[in-house]
């Protein structure tokens, strides 16, 4: 069983704790195995090909991981798209949920709570339902109907909360006093699953890393998974450097971009305005310090984009055969600025995180 400790004060935590009970800091897994290319189970066409590097053993799987990496020939702005929206529940969240739920299953957990604007809730509901764990998912009352339907059809109990996204989280944390909190923002086993996207990109590019990766950032789980996954490859001597990481946010909710511009180490909490990028409407990301450190450490940057630019990017992607939700088009809306920050010939990867069918 993996050892869990507090990232901030180093205290040991329990396997089902969602944060440090002493200092409320986020938790991490202390003894993750190093990346070993010889240990990849190459006959296994899911993220469980990396079992030797993961902190949970597979007992239940929906075949998550191994999404396509395809070139997208935008004029003057070519990039490689990692089609995460082809995951079992149509978003990248399945990577983290698969690893977290196999961990919860190993500990005999019978019920969980989670708060989500949509994709995490749907993914959690699918894995909880498939495994037989009772799930209550707290969602904003104004979340897209398609996402709420998906959560309910997987058999989870939907708890609709009127108010801000922070109100939803507060209601969930209250419920988490009695029931394990399977949080995609806090849970370190969820983040471990997100590292597998970096390892797949490395394999799909012929054991190389791209020059840059551009992500939509709300809580930052995708970006942190990429940062940690590529760091593991770097520590194993398999890549010369970690790709530059770019965090893109909606201009209506930009705590990371504000901190980046002000050269702060911690996110600057904002009160969110309306945006079509509902998946990243997070006013105070819980691991925001680590997100900012990953941007700095990789030589990346943070940019904000407007809703009209997001809509335009979504339309361009659809014209190239890629049907994604607005949040997934956020990095494409910032491609001009990312390119201006890089060499002209730089290879850029963009994970396309969630399906357009959801909205
Ligand atoms: Zn602590």
pLDDT tens by residue, 180-203? 999 999 999 999 999 999 999 999
Q: What is the CATH number of the domain that holds 116?
A: 3.40.50.1100
Give yes or no for residue 210 having a pLDDT over 70. yes
> Both 349 and 237 in a single domain?
yes
The 3-state secondary structure of the chain reads: CCCEEECCCCCEECCCCCCCCCCCCCEEECCCCCCCHHHCCCCCCCHHHHHHHCCCCCCCCCCCCCCCEEEECCCCCCEEEECHHHCCCCECHHHHHHHHHHHHHHCCCCEEEEECCCHHHHHHHHHHHHHCCEEEEEEECCCCHHHHHHHHHCCCEEEEECCCHHHHHHHHHHHCCCCCECCCCCCHHHHHHHCHHHHHHHHHCCCCCCCEEEEECCCCHHHHHHHHHHHHHHHCCCCCCCCEEEEEEECCECHHHHHHHHCCCCCCCCCCCCCCCHHHCCCCCCCHHHHHHHHHHHCCEEEEECHHHHHHHHHHHHHCCCCECHHHHHHHHCHHHHHHHCCCCCCEEEECCEEHHHC
> Both 290 and 202 in a single domain?
yes
Task: Report the pLDDT value the prediction gives residue 75, as an integer from 0 to 100.
Answer: 87
CA 30 / ligand 1 centre spacing (Å): 13
Contacts of 235-240 spanning 24+ positions with Cβ under 8 A: 235/34, 235/35, 236/34, 236/35, 236/36, 236/37, 238/35, 238/37, 238/202, 238/207, 239/202, 239/208, 239/209, 240/209
Tell whether 217 is covered by a domain.
Answer: yes
Backbone phi, psi, residue 242, to 5°: -75, 140
Task: Report the pLDDT value the prediction gives residue 117, as an integer from 0 to 100.
Answer: 67
Tell whether 208 is covered by a domain.
Answer: yes
The answer to whether residues 236 and 35 touch, using CB atoms and an 8 Å cutoff, is: yes
CA 9 / ligand 1 centre spacing (Å): 4
Task: Report the pLDDT value the prediction gives residue 2, as an integer from 0 to 100.
Answer: 78
Half-sphere exposure of 351 (CA within 13 A, CB side): 33
Task: Report the pLDDT value the prediction gives residue 358, as an integer from 0 to 100.
Answer: 82
> Both 130 and 255 in a single domain?
no
CA 287 / ligand 1 centre spacing (Å): 14
Tell whether 45 is covered by a domain.
Answer: no
> Both 332 and 308 in a single domain?
yes
134: pLDDT confidence band, cut at 50, 70 and 90?
A: very high
CA 21 / ligand 1 centre spacing (Å): 7
Extract the tokens encoding 300.
Answer: 């990346």
Give the residue from 160, 186, 212 where a domain finishes. 186
> Both 240 and 266 in a single domain?
yes
Task: Report the pLDDT value the prediction gives residue 133, as an integer from 0 to 100.
Answer: 97
> Both 312 and 168 in a single domain?
no
Give yes or no for residue 236 having a pLDDT over 90. yes
Task: Report the pLDDT value the prediction gives residue 100, as an integer from 0 to 100.
Answer: 98
Q: Look at the chain and report how many structural domains it folds into.
A: 3
Task: Report the pLDDT value the prediction gives residue 289, as an integer from 0 to 100.
Answer: 96
Tell whether 224 is covered by a domain.
Answer: yes
> Both 21 and 155 in a single domain?
no
CA 31 / ligand 1 centre spacing (Å): 17
The pLDDT of 237-251, averaged and rounded, is 97
The pLDDT of 229-250, averaged and rounded, is 98
> Both 182 and 297 in a single domain?
no
Range of the domain at 318: 69-91+189-358
Residues near ligand 1 ion, CB 5 Å cutoff: 6, 8-9, 11, 20, 22-23, 25
Per-residue pLDDT of 276-321, as tens digits, reads 998 899 999 999 999 999 999 999 999 999 999 999 999 999 999 9
Tell whether 74 is covered by a domain.
Answer: yes
Tell whether 48 is covered by a domain.
Answer: no
Tell whether 53 is covered by a domain.
Answer: no
The pLDDT of 198-216, averaged and rounded, is 98
CA 16 / ligand 1 centre spacing (Å): 15
> Both 152 and 6 in a single domain?
no
Among residues of the chain, what percentage have pLDDT more than 90?
88
The pLDDT of 226-231, averaged and rounded, is 98
The pLDDT of 338-352, averaged and rounded, is 94
Positive or negative torsion for Cα 91, 96, 99, 104: negative
107: pLDDT confidence band, cut at 50, 70 and 90?
A: very high
Give the residue from 186, 208, 228 where a domain finishes. 186
CA 93 / ligand 1 centre spacing (Å): 26
Mean pLDDT of the chain: 95
> Both 228 and 198 in a single domain?
yes
Task: Report the pLDDT value the prediction gives residue 259, as an integer from 0 to 100.
Answer: 98
Give the residue from 133, 162, 186 where a domain finishes. 186
> Both 292 and 331 in a single domain?
yes
Tell whether 118 is covered by a domain.
Answer: yes
The answer to whether residues 214 and 246 touch, using CB atoms and an 8 Å cutoff, is: yes
Give yes or no for residue 87 having a pLDDT over 90. yes
Give yes or no for residue 257 having a pLDDT over 90. yes
> Both 150 and 289 in a single domain?
no
């Amino acid at each position: 069983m993996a050892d869990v400790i507090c990232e901030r004060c180093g205290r040991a935590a329990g396997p089902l704790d969602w944060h440090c009970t002493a200092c409320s800091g986020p938790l991490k897994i202390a003894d993750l195995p190093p990346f070993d290319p010889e240990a990849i189970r190459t006959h296994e066409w899911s993220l469980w090909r990396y079992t030797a590097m993961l902190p949970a053993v597979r007992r239940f799987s929906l075949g998550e991981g191994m999404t396509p990496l395809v070139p997208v020939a935008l004029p003057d702005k070519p990039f490689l798209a990692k089609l995460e929206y082809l995951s079992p529940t149509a978003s990248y969240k399945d990577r983290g949920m698969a690893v977290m739920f196999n961990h919860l299953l190993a500990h005999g957990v019978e019920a969980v709570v989670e708060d989500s604007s949509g994709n995490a809730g749907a993914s959690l509901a699918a894995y909880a339902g498939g495994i037989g764990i009772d799930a209550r998912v707290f969602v904003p009352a104004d979340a897209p109907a398609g996402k709420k339907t998906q959560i309910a059809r997987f058999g989870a109990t939907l708890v609709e909360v009127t108010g801000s996204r922070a109100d939803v989280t507060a209601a969930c944390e209250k419920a988490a006093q009695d029931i394990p909190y399977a949080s995609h923002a806090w849970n370190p086993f969820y983040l471990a699953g997100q590292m597998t996207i970096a390892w797949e990109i490395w394999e799909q590019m012929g054991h190389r890393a791209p020059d840059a990766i551009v992500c939509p950032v709300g809580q930052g789980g995708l970006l942190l998974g990429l940062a940690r996954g590529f760091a593991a490859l770097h520590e194993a001597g398999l890549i010369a450097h970690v790709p530059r990481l770019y965090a893109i946010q909606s201009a209506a909710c930009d705590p990371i971009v504000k901190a980046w511009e002000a050269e702060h180490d911690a996110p600057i909490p904002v009160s969110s305005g309306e945006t079509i990028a509902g998946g990243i409407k997070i006013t105070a990301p819980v691991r925001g310090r680590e997100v900012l450190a990953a941007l700095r450490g990789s030589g990346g940057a943070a940019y904000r984009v407007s809703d009209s630019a997001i809509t335009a990017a979504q339309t361009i992607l659809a014209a190239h055969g890629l049907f994604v939700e607005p949040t997934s088009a956020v990095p494409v809306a910032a491609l001009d600025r990312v390119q201006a920050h890089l060499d002209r010939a730089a290879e850029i990867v963009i994970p396309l995180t969630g399906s357009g069918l959801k909205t």
